[in-house]
Copies of this chain bind each other. A is one copy, B any other.
């Protein structure tokens, strides 16, 4: 790509915002152009406004940038705006941005289930972005400025839906899926986040709203698009989720049991091969952040593990292991994904790369 697109980040001082800034800081397609945060931070230099908590240091170019408020008029020059806003404010702000003709890629939950908003895991359903691309291209052709919202999935959904998607594509519907998650604390953000005192030597067997998200988002992501460009759930899939927070910094691990609709189900080897062979569209489009390999199927008995496997392909790939028959359903396996990359900011960046490759900006 020779043209660099201007990018804005909303919620730039928060945990997702910081990650967006890191991922965009040396990106070939996007230039970090505007940083938006709360009124309290607006007017300050970014280095003074942020309590930085990443392993890498604050990118030099971001330090002196003056933070602005999250108002559309500040971002009108942006080709794309990444939203790391908290859900208590994200809904209205993102609508306002879209109404102002801006393309918003959001990590917030507010618009995920809107039936005209694509909910995208870029390794699974980048085809849902075609609706957005078509809309934006049409507007452009008509010389109209038209905004749009694209939603990133919930972080625990992002891991689960990749192997499910690969299998559904090959073998048809998975009628039943039970999943128990062990989720990293980085997913809870910084304010209030998870206290060390609460998670040390402990498991917290509850994440507010999380199970519901897992049980509903998968069907939309694996669903289709109506002629009216409305997103329609995939029928016939029931998900049951139990979500836990564990003392892991990054990386969500999920124990999954699945039952195929087709009977007899595919063989164990076919299941593993289908996941190994799966290639996502961002790979074929040559997107910068696309993983080299979408699903790593590991044969070691005790892998994947969060600390050892979360960074495969810079956190954009998922790792599957322990694929084996299930005495009740058909198969069980575990899946690991990087919750702040594939499950949040990284997915947003890869969505934007895909939109760009498809001509939406």
Contact = CB atoms under 8 A, between A and B. Distances in A.
Contact of A253 (B203, B253, B305, B307): B203
A236 interface: no
B305 A205 contact: yes
A242 B332 contact: yes
Contacts of A200: 185, 196, 199-201, 247-249, 307
Q: How many copies does the complex hold?
A: 4
A159 to B, nearest CB: 13
Contacts of A248: 200-203, 247
A305 B240 contact: no
A301 B322 CA distance: 31
A53 to B, nearest CB: 7
B255 A203 contact: no
Contacts of A246: 182, 203, 246-247
A332 B193 contact: no
B201 A302 contact: no
A180 B255 contact: yes
A334 interface: yes
Contacts of A204: 302, 305
Contacts of A303: 205
A205 B193 CA distance: 21
A326 B246 CA distance: 23
Interface in A233-256: 238-240, 242, 244, 246-249, 253, 255
Which of the listed residues A197, A198, A204, A246 has the most CB atoms from chain B within 10 Å of its own CB?
A: A197
Interface in A179-236: 180, 182, 185-186, 188, 190, 192-206, 208, 215
Given A200-B248, A238-B327, 5 more contacts: A176-B328, A190-B197, A205-B304, A208-B301, A242-B332
